[in-house]
Amino acid sequence: MAGVSLRENAVLGDPQLQEGLKSINPRWGEMCIRVAGEVWGLPLIDQRTKAFITIAVDVANANESGPGTPFEAHVNMALKQGATYAEIEELLLFMSAYAGFNKTAGAFGRLNEIQAKQTAASGGGA
């Protein structure tokens, strides 16, 4: 079975994400791109579902804020794969039952910041 094309791969097809990873540490970034690019290239789970999984893992690990944390990148990956903010909010509600309300409270706060930042960048109102 063939893998996902380079253009469709949410890691290998996103130069902005790659630069962000390398900006944390060049060697670490290259390693992340290779490893994550490979698993994101596996064919059976679609890119959108993989993006939702990464957000769920971020919530479970309370990994949504602070330098180098991947939550915003994973939200952006999900949006690029066609997810909506409403779907991500529902995922966070779902994760409240499994990861804990305190962890998802932080994720909701971060999601609101990301959405406000993107709205401001696109010239939209609040």
By three-state DSSP, how is residue 126 classified? Answer: coil
**Would you give the DSSP letter of residue 39?**
H
Above 60 in pLDDT, residue 119?
A: yes
Nearest to 106 by CA among 74, 70, 64, 54: 64
**Would you give the DSSP letter of residue 6?**
T
CA distance 59 to 41: 23
Above 60 in pLDDT, residue 1?
A: no
Report the 3 state secondary structure along 50-63: HHHHHHHHHHHCCC
Render pLDDT for 51-94 as a digit per residue (tens, 0 to 9). Answer: 999 999 999 988 777 767 789 999 999 999 999 999 999 999 99
The reply to whether 60 and 30 lie within a common domain is: no
Query: Does the predicted TM-score (pTM) go above 0.75?
Result: yes
Residue 2, pLDDT score: 62
At 124, is the pLDDT very low, low, confident or very high (cuts 50, 70, 90)?
Answer: confident
The reply to whether 38 and 68 lie within a common domain is: no
The reply to whether 115 and 69 lie within a common domain is: yes
The reply to whether 73 and 24 lie within a common domain is: no
Above 60 in pLDDT, residue 126?
A: no
For 62, other C-beta atoms within 10 Å of its C-beta total: 17
The reply to whether 94 and 122 lie within a common domain is: yes
Above 80 in pLDDT, residue 10?
A: yes
pLDDT more than 90, % of the chain: 74
Helices 47-60 & 71-80 angle (0-180, nearest 10): 160
The reply to whether 35 and 88 lie within a common domain is: no
- The answer to whether 4 touches 30, Cβ cutoff 8 Å, is no
Q: What is the domain range of residue 71?
A: 46-126
The reply to whether 22 and 51 lie within a common domain is: no
The reply to whether 28 and 58 lie within a common domain is: no
The structural domain count of the chain equals: 2
CA 82 to chain CA mean position, Å: 12
